[in-house]
Amino acid sequence: MPWSRKNGLVAGQKRPLVSRRDPEPEWGPAMRALPERWRMAVENLLYITEGNQTEALRLAGYQGTARSKTEMASRIFRDDRVRAALREEYSRGLDVIAPEARAVVRGIMLNTGEKAADRLRAAGMIMDRADPVITKHRIEVEHHLTDDQRDIQHWRALTRLGAPPEAFLQRFGPNGMARVEALVLAEEARRRELESPTIEVDDYEVSNDG
């Protein structure tokens, strides 16, 4: 029986032949450190059995009673080497599906039919991953923001997205709408005052002569 995602990797089977023009997929260091059947069990667990440990071992060639395979699975998958390999392969798998995930998130962000709150979260997810260093710094700074400052930022974000009134009502509640709007207007007035040009007048004396 040839190898397939459906049937899994079985002990003694060879991987499908790859064209000589294409390079062989390489294992990461954690997977290379495992015995062959343990590697197959890791692959089966992640890609075939959807987390069923005993089935992953069975497909890798392990035999025994249901109880013995359960005990074997607990021992093998708790091994630090196997856990490291699972983390390694899981991370590689995330890299592969990242373009699909990005397309889904981008679709939500650009879909004007979605809830404004969902679009805002989608935009935040993309920004967090577009520049993780700056985002990390920003999160640390926002940790010290007051509730009023955070509400002002959220209000402006919803405004930039062109969110409907329902989105503001959902975020701030019926009793908070007027309060946050007043905060935003007050901050804008302070900023305009600071940005307005200062007119300097030279001192002069007024003569009392008629």
Residue 206 dihedral angles phi and psi, to the nearest 5°: -100, 120
Q: Which residues contact 53 (CB under 8 A, 6 or more apart)?
A: 45, 70, 73, 74, 77
pLDDT digits (tens, 9 = 90+) for 156-191: 888 888 878 888 888 888 888 888 888 889 888 888
For position 3, what pLDDT does the model report? 44
Place of tokens 């983390």: 87
Any idea which of 124-128, 164-168, 198-202 has the lowest mean pLDDT? 198-202
Higher pLDDT, 154 or 209: 154
CA distance 31 to 40: 10
Give the model's confidence band at 148: pLDDT under 50 very low, under 70 low, under 90 confident, else very high: confident
pTM, two decimal places: 0.43
Percent of the chain with pLDDT over 90: 20
Place of tokens 């890791």: 42
pLDDT digits (tens, 9 = 90+) for 26-62: 888 898 899 999 999 999 998 898 889 999 999 999 9
Structure-block tokens of residue 186: 């007050």
CA-to-CA separations, 9 to 17, 92, 107, in angstroms, rounded = 14, 19, 36
